[in-house]
Amino acid sequence: MIVSFMLVAMAAAIMASGAFAAPAYPGYTGLIFTPTADTLNMGAVNAGASYISRDDNDMSYFSANIGVINGLEAGLGYQNPETGDSETIINAKYSIMKETFATPGVAVGVSDLSDEIDSTPYVVVSKKLDVPGLAIKSLRGSVGLGSGTLDGVFAGLSAVITDNVTFMIEHDTDDINLGLQFAGYGGFRAHVDLIGGDDVGFGLNFNKGF
């Protein structure tokens, strides 16, 4: 059932393209498990439903964010382990400096504001990287510092390989994760990820008005 869902989602999503500010597994706009300095504009929304197959405890993730004002996004994340208690967490992120051609974007945020699992404040810097002679459409890096579930320095890199496919790699302070996102119709995007070299995750995201 899980494999069939993944194949159908990938096939449906790989047919079109579009800019996308997708939620990471914990809910905030980001890569796989790490945030970027991106925030939703006022009135914009994104949402995601994801699943990670683990050897010891599979996990389902659901999230939704809204741009409260320009530069400030807030949302909810729901984490449902196969064994153990489910938790709903509150996320918020504020852009203190927008990215320009010459300067990076900078944002501060907190995941799990009410400390249901592990309250995680962080600061993150993101910037498009221009590398002469590199045969990819866009390369963008992020680096940040956090505590809680992001305890230490985290970093990530995304690369737009084709109009439809984005490759991601990150270090989430514990593991190195790899991912592929496939742009789809109407603001939908599918993703498939390798978490820590052992676990496989996948899901669907939706974005409107970014």
Per-residue pLDDT of 157-193, as tens digits, reads 999 988 889 999 999 999 999 999 998 888 899 999 9
Q: How far is CA 9 from the centre of its chain?
A: 18
Token pair in block for residue 142: 């992020």
CATH number for the domain formed by residue range(s) 2-208: 2.40.160.40
Cross-strand pairs, 9: none
Give the pLDDT mean for 88-117. 96
Residue-level pLDDT at 14: 33
Give the pLDDT mean for 74-85. 94
Residue 42 and residue 49: Cα distance in Å, rounded? 22
What does pLDDT average to over the chain?
88
Quick one: pLDDT band at residue 13, thresholds 50, 70, 90? very low
- Higher-scoring residue by pLDDT: 208, 12: 208
Residue 97 and residue 76: Cα distance in Å, rounded? 24
Per-residue pLDDT for 118 more than 90? yes
* pTM of this structure: 0.86
Tell me if 149 sits within 8 A of 132, measured CB to CB: no
Q: What are phi and psi of 187, to 5 degrees?
A: 85, 5
